[in-house]
């Protein structure tokens, strides 16, 4: 049963309920060994952190910054701060110096927690440019502190300030004063244009979100929940708090690039992720199928057909599969699909919430077919994550983003924009009354900026309204929909569709270099660099043929006519990606103007 306490006391209430039961599974910085702590230990450390914050003079509703990747110390910091009614402001671990300087100054942060050397170095360099900054607290003990930095201390030394709970009476006084109107977080959106804006999220919003999600998301105390997305992402933040409120064990994965290895080592039952994770899984399995001998290839394709029929054609529609199909599915599930899940470390799968971008229908069908419950959803930072999601055991439609959560009003404007009203919706943006005013309709609905429609109780997304491209022929193109369709190809790693005010659609593509190199060697194509590969006519022809196969069902005006292969990835350093890895299309158009213009030198198509 869910414990939906105020976040200032949630861990302490769960410790009373679960005591020495395992709560957190994690690795210390630099270690390969997984260790754990109990709910009782979690609660004690949170109390110590609250006392240490009091020792630093942190006031009620003061903003405290956290600039780190996921780690157990992050948990102690969040709940320790909420225990003294402080506000935590998570910064993405990949944020630039310019970004953190803006956020520190905008929120007037005095105490900043940082993760590893990279985050400390950035924080130290901007310290003098941030007038309110007084302290940097470092999670990783191996970080080298500058000899000219008297303001930094390690997290274990910070905890010593609260050892013995010297300020516990004051801490308990703060908790007694806590209300659901208190601000819990300010989450700065990654921003595809301009400076980030701080979304204000209250304890009341979290309380309402946990209650609504608790009724429709089937995570429980028997689950082992992998944290993969950063805690600075509202999807992971909300999912993590929901899991804790249900008494689940949390597996804290600090390094996202190691997530598949971590899954095989810790055997999670649930994990939230973005579609790109499952696109990579899909491409990896497809590659194994392609490399298999004809007999194994046929067996797997037949198994997928059975899985699709059983799980998509019947179960997704709320229908009971016929006996013969159930027997066939049970056989392929116990043999072929169980091997795939074992390879992923998902021997006992429960649910896998997925949101943050368009989910390819190919990928969604594949994941369901192999016996994994992908829970597709939709949400924003401003809605405290979930607006809608699939519900386990209820009919769902591949291609939808599920049914709206209880208590949330969803309205579609005359222009097709999704509008929201309810207890989980933000009251506005920090220090930005102008943006707050523009974000709401005259009757109080939040403007999402997404277009969509409702059908049979399910929400379907169309496109970000601002992202719609209009070709010079007057046709509207939805770039994300085309990108998600093409990203399922194992040869494509990243893609940016180009079409705005152009006669036809083109694409900048970052290929999966390893596979392209294998293709070149197998076909006698000489190369010395990625530049050689990307410029090769045979490689481009192969890529174009694969794209044409995937886009057959698109309207003619939506189909990619020309491509440019790039020898390096889109990157945050060059401003081409947000912290959540969304494309900054304006920057990409500027950075690759020459390459784009070359694709349109002869616009005879």
What is the DSSP track for 142-187?
Answer: T----TT-TTEEEHHHHHHTTTT-TTHHHHHHHHHH--TTSEEEEE
State the pLDDT confidence band at 573, using cuts at 50, 70 and 90.
confident
Q: Is the pLDDT of residue 509 over 50?
A: yes
Contact 406, 231 (CB under 8 A): no
State the pLDDT confidence band at 603, using cuts at 50, 70 and 90.
low
Give the residue, 54 or 192, on which the prediction is more confident.
54
Q: Is the pLDDT of residue 192 over 60?
A: no
Provide the pLDDT for residue 605. 46
Provide the pLDDT for residue 284. 87
Which tokens is 201 given?
């999220």
In whole angstroms, what is the distance from residue 411 CA to residue 402 CA? Answer: 15
Residue 34: HSE in the Cβ half-sphere, 13 Å Cα cutoff: 17
State the pLDDT confidence band at 190, using cuts at 50, 70 and 90.
low
Contact 58, 112 (CB under 8 A): no
In whole angstroms, what is the distance from residue 601 CA to residue 9 CA? Answer: 63
Q: Is the pLDDT of residue 194 over 80?
A: no
State the pLDDT confidence band at 521, using cuts at 50, 70 and 90.
very high
Q: Is the pLDDT of residue 56 over 90?
A: yes
Q: What is the mean pLDDT of the chain?
A: 93
Give the CATH number of domain 468-599; options: 3.10.20.30, 3.40.50.1820, 3.30.300.30, 3.90.420.10. 3.30.300.30
Residue 159, number of CB atoms within 10 A of its CB: 18
Provide the pLDDT for residue 193. 47
Residue 538, number of CB atoms within 10 A of its CB: 12
Taking residues 538-551, what's their average pLDDT?
93
Provide the pLDDT for residue 475. 73
User: What tens digit of pLDDT does each residue of 341-359 get?
Assistant: 999 999 999 999 998 778 8
State the pLDDT confidence band at 578, using cuts at 50, 70 and 90.
confident
Q: Is the pLDDT of residue 153 over 90?
A: yes
Provide the pLDDT for residue 577. 86
Query: What single-letter DSSP state applies at residue 336?
Result: I
State the pLDDT confidence band at 191, using cuts at 50, 70 and 90.
low
Q: Is the pLDDT of residue 604 over 60?
A: no
Provide the pLDDT for residue 287. 86
Which of the given ranges, 413-417, 427-431, 447-451, 551-555, has the highest pLDDT on average?
Answer: 427-431
**SS3 state at 329:** helix
State the pLDDT confidence band at 553, using cuts at 50, 70 and 90.
confident
What are the domain boundaries of the chain? Answer: 10-271, 275-423+451-465, 468-599
Taking residues 495-512, what's their average pLDDT?
91
Residue 447 has φ and ψ, to the nearest 5°, of -85, 115
Q: What is the pTM of this model?
A: 0.86
Q: Is the pLDDT of residue 23 over 60?
A: yes
State the pLDDT confidence band at 76, using cuts at 50, 70 and 90.
very high
Mean pLDDT check: name the lowest of 183-197, 313-327, 392-406. 183-197
In whole angstroms, what is the distance from residue 164 CA to residue 48 CA? Answer: 8
Helices (H), 257-359: 259-266, 275-291, 294-308, 323-332, 338-344
CATH code for the part of the protein at 10-271: 3.40.50.12780
Which tokens is 267 given?
């055997």
State the pLDDT confidence band at 292, using cuts at 50, 70 and 90.
confident
Taking residues 57-74, what's their average pLDDT?
97
State the pLDDT confidence band at 290, using cuts at 50, 70 and 90.
confident
């Amino acid at each position: 049963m869910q414990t939906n306490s105020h976040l200032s006391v949630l861990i302490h209430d769960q410790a009373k309920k679960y005591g020495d039961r395992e709560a957190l599974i994690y690795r210390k910085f630099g270690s390969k060994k997984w260790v754990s702590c109990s709910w009782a230990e979690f609660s004690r450390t949170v109390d110590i952190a609250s006392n240490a914050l009091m020792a630093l003079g942190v006031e009620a509703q003061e903003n405290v910054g956290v600039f780190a990747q996921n780690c157990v110390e992050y948990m102690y910091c969040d709940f320790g701060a909420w225990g003294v009614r402080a506000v935590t402001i998570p910064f993405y671990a990949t944020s630039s110096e310019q970004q953190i300087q803006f956020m520190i100054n905008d929120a007037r942060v005095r105490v900043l927690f940082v993760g590893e050397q990279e985050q400390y170095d950035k924080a130290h360099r901007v310290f003098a440019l941030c007038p309110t900054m007084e302290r940097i607290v470092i999670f990783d003990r191996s970080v080298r502190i500058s000899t000219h930095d008297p303001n930094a201390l390690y997290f274990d030394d910070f905890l010593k300030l609260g050892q013995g709970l010297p300020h516990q009476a004051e801490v308990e006084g703060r908790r007694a004063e806590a209300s659901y109107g208190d601000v819990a977080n300010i989450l700065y959106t990654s921003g595809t244009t301009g400076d980030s804006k701080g979304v204000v999220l209250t304890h009341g919003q979290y309380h309402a979100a946990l209650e609504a999600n608790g009724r429709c998301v089937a995570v429980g105390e028997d689950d082992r929940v992998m944290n993969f997305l950063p805690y600075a992402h509202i999807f992971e933040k909300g999912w993590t708090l929901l899991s804790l409120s249900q008494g689940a064990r949390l597996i804290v994965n600090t390094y996202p690039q190691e997530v598949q290895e971590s899954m095989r080592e810790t055997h999670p039952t649930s994990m939230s992720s973005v579609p790109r994770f499952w696109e990579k899984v899909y491409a990896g399995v497809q590659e194994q199928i392609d490399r298999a001998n004809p007999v194994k290839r046929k067996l797997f394709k037949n198994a997928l057909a059975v899985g699709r029929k059983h799980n998509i054609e019947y179960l997704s529609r709320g229908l009971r599969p016929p006996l013969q199909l159930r027997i066939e599915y049970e056989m392929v599930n116990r043999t072929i699909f169980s091997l795939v899940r074992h390879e992923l470390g998902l021997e006992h799968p429960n649910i896998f919430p997925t949101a943050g971008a368009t989910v390819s229908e190919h990928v969604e069908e594949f994941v369901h077919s192999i016996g994994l419950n992908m829970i597709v959803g939709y949400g924003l930072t401003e809605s405290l994550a979930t607006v809608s999601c699939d519900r386990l055991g209820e009919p769902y439609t591949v291609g939808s983003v599920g049914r709206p959560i209880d208590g949330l009003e969803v309205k579609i404007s005359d222009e097709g924009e999704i509008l929201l009203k309810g207890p989980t919706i933000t009251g506005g943006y920090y220090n930005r009354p102008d943006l707050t005013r523009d974000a709401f309709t005259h009757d109080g609905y939040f403007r999402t900026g997404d277009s969509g429609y409702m059908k049979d109780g399910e929400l379907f997304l169309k496109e970000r309204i601002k992202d719609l491209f209009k070709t010079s022929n007057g046709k509207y193109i939805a770039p994300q929909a085309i990108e998600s369709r093409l990203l399922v190809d194992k040869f494509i790693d990243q893609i940016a569709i180009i079409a705005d005010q152009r006669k036809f659609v083109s694409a900048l593509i970052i290929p999966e270099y390893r596979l392209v190199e294998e293709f070149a060697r197998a076909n006698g194509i000489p190369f010395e660099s990625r530049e050689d590969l990307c410029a090769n006519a045979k490689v481009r022809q192969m890529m174009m043929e694969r794209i044409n196969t995937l886009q057959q069902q698109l309207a003619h005006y939506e189909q990619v006519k020309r491509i440019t292969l790039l020898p390096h990835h889109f990157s945050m350093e060059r401003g081409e990606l947000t912290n959540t890895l969304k494309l900054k299309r304006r920057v990409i158009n500027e950075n690759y103007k020459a390459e784009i213009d070359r694709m349109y030198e002869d616009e005879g198509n």
